[in-house]
Structures are given as C-alpha cells and as structure tokens.
Amino acid sequence: MEEPKHGIRAVHSASTITVYQAYTPEIGLPAARLGRFPATWKRDRMTWVKPSFLWMMYRCGWGTKEGQETVLALEITREGFEWALRHACLSHYAHGLHPDRATWKRQLRHAPARVQWDPERDLHLRPLPYRSLQLGLSGEGARRYADEWTVAITDVTPLVREIHALLREGEPDTAARLLPEERPYPAGDELLAHLCP
C-alpha cells in the first residue's frame, strides 16, 4: 500500500499516542524518573515532539548529538494531541491553504501549536518520499503538554543505543525488529485539512 504524502505514523492506543523528544541527561533522566518534566524544563519555550521514532533518530543522531543524549518516549493523550492539531498552524506559508501571507503570519503568531512536514527516514536515516509530522507546542500548548496530556515518560536511550550498535555491526534486520511498531494514526480531514499544503 502506498504511503500518503502527509501522514502521522505512530505507536498509539485507544487513548494515547507516543511522541519522542531528546534532551540533556539533566532534563531527560529526571523526567523519566518522575514521569513529568522537572522544574528546569521551560514551559515558556517552543518544544517540538515527533511521533516518528526514526525521524527522532535522524534529528538526535541516535542520541549522540550534544544536548540530545537522552531520548524519551512520551505517551500523551490522544485528546491532547488532537487539540494541538486542531489549534495548529502550518509552519510555512502555503498558497491556496492560507488566504495570504499576512493572514498566515497572524495565525502562526497566535497559534499554540505549529506543524511542519519533514521527509520520513528509513533505518539508515535516508529520506523517504513521504513526510512525517513534527508538532511544535508553545504557550498554552506547551503547558497543557507538560501538565495535562503527559501520561508516561520512558527513557528509551538504551534501546536507541542497541539499535544503533546493531546497525554499525551490519545487522539491519535484527535492528529493524527492535523498532517501535508504528502504524497510521487515524487523523482524518477534520484534523489535517488545514495543515496539508
């Protein structure tokens, strides 16, 4: 089956969706231990979450990039995730989707969430021809994410290191079997029509 050009592929249950972020150990380890972000996590900054495990690996270099050494899997409520999508603005102007640039800039400035679509990645982090969602949360969106939507936080850094080591050892099939089982998230037109250029 052909992948849609814009889609959300994620680990999800009837009530939650898993997203990924990477942090310094000073933030990531306490967050996983406490099941919530520590006081040092800034609620007033834009925070980006990624439902795609492999896109997160591309972004953090398998947890090797400075400041992104601790990779977290965050289970958040589907209700919260979908609120963010409904209130999100596309991160770039798209002719035909927005009435004009001024309207888009105004929407972007006031939106508690923004969406960008980046090429999905394969196991070797090469770009694929379809795109995955990155969700940026700020203001009310970031506060709700941290204080209301987060159900569980798991440090998946050991898994990240194991998969990366298998790839370096030339064992891609074994590495692939360890990947989280992501499947299409049921986000219909109601959630995505205003976000797909």
Note the pLDDT tens digit of each residue in 114-160: 999 999 999 999 999 999 999 999 999 999 999 999 999 999 999 99
Q: How far apart are CA 104 and CA 6, in angstroms?
A: 20
With tokens 């972007």, the residue in question is: 108
Per mean pLDDT, which range of 46-60, 87-101, 150-164 is the poorest? 87-101
User: What is each CA distance from 195 to 13, 106, 177, in whole angstroms?
Assistant: 23, 15, 32
The two beta strands, 113-121 and 88-90, are: parallel
- DSSP secondary structure, 149-183, as one string: IEEEEEE-HHHHHHHHHHHHTT-HHHHHHTS---E
DSSP 148: I
Please give the average per-residue pLDDT across 90-105, as a whole number. 90
User: Rounded to 5 degrees, what angle do the CA atoms 92, 54, 147 make?
Assistant: 70
In the prediction, which pLDDT does 1 show?
63
The answer, as to whether pTM is greater than 0.85, is yes
Mean pLDDT, rounded, of the chain: 95
Tokens representing residue 8 in the block? 């959300």
Beta bridge partners, 95, equal 98
Q: How far apart are CA 39 and CA 31, in angstroms?
A: 10
